[in-house]
Amino acid sequence: MPTRLDGRESRARFEDPEGLRALLDRLHAAGRGSWRDDPEAAALMRHAAEKYAALARRHGLDPWEAAAAAFDAMRSASVRRAEDPWAMVTRAVQVTCIAEERANGLLCSVHQARRPRYSVFHDAERFSDRENLLTDYHPAFRVEDPEPDDEGEPGAGPEPSTSAATAVEDAIALLALLGWEPGIARAGVEFVASRLAEAASRSSAFEVLRRDRHARALLDLPGASWTTLLRTLLGSPDTALAHTNAGRGVLLRLLIGEPLRALLLDDELVRAVSLAAPRRPRGGEQG
């Protein structure tokens, strides 16, 4: 019958790669529930939490989250058979910590964060948190005046005077006033604005987002509502309408100083946004 080791002896034993292998083999052979009831296993997990505490904090995690990753690795046959079990466990914990950090930043699952098709993106951020003007931040919001200045003074046209945060908040308010649920309005406006910052132009952003079925499913919007939202915020991609209100879109109109009350007087805009508002059945309503 194996002798149970305590305190310093137990720690010294499983800190050695062969000692860890022996302990893992014994726990595996003991079957279901062996990790829960074994004092040496408990000591091993305390040691793992201490061993990987610095690694966990480097990725914004709690030491016990790293210990949980170590626990998952230690139960695998590949670790028990590895030349250096501790090296395998350390690598597994490192990969998991990186994936956890990316998942927290990307607002997705750890499984998705492990996949390159998701992990290559930057962390999610609220577009309204940016303090700089969108016209300064990205050329997609700029429209050149087709008419020359009568006085011949460069830069005599109106200067953008609305901050990014105000423009986004006003766009959200516009949708909410016209029948969109506030939560859906905020999620939709902030998502579109954030994707616009990564596009080469408003028209290219429109086309990319129009085909983004995943985004529409994530926001739970019908196709007509999604298309109208894009056309409302980014403007029509038709080049013939580039210098009209329909071509500029709500975000740009707000940024160049047009007030929210003026947008509410735009009958065509109001009608389109109101009709496209997604209808959600309320609790208790009869179908």
Helix H, strand E, coil C: the string for 78-119 is HHHHCCCHHHHHHHHHHHHHHHHHHHHHHCCCHHHHCCHHHH
Residues 266 and 138 in one domain: yes
2 belongs to a structural domain = no
Stated as kind and residue range, the H or E segment containing 188 is helix 182-196
Q: CA–CA separation, 95 vs 262, rounded Å?
A: 52
What is the domain extent for residue 184?
127-143+160-276
173 belongs to a structural domain = yes
Residues 165 and 253 in one domain: yes
235 belongs to a structural domain = yes
Q: How confident is the model at residue 102 (pLDDT cuts 50, 70, 90)?
A: confident
Residues 97 and 164 in one domain: no
CB atoms within 10 A of CB 223: 10
Residues 92 and 170 in one domain: no
Residues 175 and 256 in one domain: yes
166 belongs to a structural domain = yes
**Which is higher by pLDDT, 108 or 35?**
35
What does the pLDDT read at residue 152?
A: 42
Residues 84 and 172 in one domain: no
Q: Give me the sign of the Cα torsion angle 175, 171, 220, 234.
A: positive
Q: What average pLDDT does the structure give for the chain?
A: 77
Q: What is the pLDDT of residues 9-45, one digit of tens each?
A: 445 588 889 999 999 999 999 888 889 888 999 999 9
Structure tokens that stand for 53 in this block:
């505490």
In this prediction, residues 125-144 reach a mean pLDDT of: 55
149 belongs to a structural domain = no
For the cut 60, the answer to whether the pLDDT of residue 142 exceeds it is no
